Amino acid sequence: MILTSFSHVDTDPAQPLYIMFHGYGNNEREMIRVITAIDPHASYISYRSGLERPYLGGGSWFTAPDRHDTWAAEADRIGEHVTAQLHSPLYDRRRKILIGFSQGAYLSWRIAATHPGFYAGAVLLAPPFPSYETTLTPENSPVRYHLAYGEEDDVIPQDEQERARRWVSATPSHLISSIPNLKHGISDEELTEVGRFLSIG
């Protein structure tokens, strides 16, 4: 897979760096809209999947979007590439926080869980959470997690939502939110909570 990214990075190392992954059928602009709604001056790298959907456009992070059993290996390859890219003098002193929506939230979670000493936080907006993912243990994780689902989300099955809540609730530092009147999407109320979690707003 070829990863494309768009970055907007302040050179001040005290500023956090947001590493972002879009949802299925979208592109890097989705997450740029999200973070700039929270903080117009945020430093970020927003990635775009190289797997373009035929005819419809937009990307998928996984070659078989409906086969969860292949996701972990693909996510780990992406995570290794992104993490290696961030091992740079430009970024070494910065707090790195992953943010993703839907497929991108799963990817953010998987990268944070497999590189717990490298990333300071992860914002997971409506992630799928397949049953086999219980193999990664959350206890003693140094990563701060924010997990959120819309109360009316009918895209992510309820058992996957509950599995994600159980996993995140077992970490030492976390925030779990249920957003009223929200389906599988992102709302102003949700972004306000994310802003609080990031200590922006």
Note if the pTM is more than 0.85.
Answer: yes
With 60 as the cut, is the pLDDT of residue 201 above it? Answer: no
Name the residue among 43, 57, 64, 111 with its Cα closest to residue 83. 111
With 50 as the cut, is the pLDDT of residue 148 above it? Answer: yes
The pLDDT assigned to 116 comes to 86
pLDDT band at 2 (very low <50, low <70, confident <90, very high): confident
118-132 residue pLDDT tens: 999 999 999 999 876
Lowest mean pLDDT among 7-16, 46-55, 95-104: 46-55
Token pair of 136 as six digits? 């990664």
Question: Could you tell me if 46 and 38 are in contact, meaning their C-beta atoms sit under 8 angstroms apart?
Answer: no
- Residue 98: burial class (beta carbons within 10 Å; 0-12, 13-18, 19+): buried
The pLDDT assigned to 1 comes to 67
The pLDDT assigned to 3 comes to 82
For 9-120, strand residue ranges (E) read 17-21, 43-48, 51-52, 59-60, 96-101
169-184 residue pLDDT tens: 999 999 999 999 999 9
With 80 as the cut, is the pLDDT of residue 96 above it? Answer: yes
Amino acid at 16: P
**Domains plus CATH for the chain?**
4-197 (3.40.50.1820)
- Rounded-to-integer distance, Cα 73 and Cα 90, Å: 28
151-161 residue pLDDT tens: 999 999 999 99
Token pair of 171 as six digits? 């970490």
Name the residue among 8, 40, 37 with its Cα closest to residue 101. 37
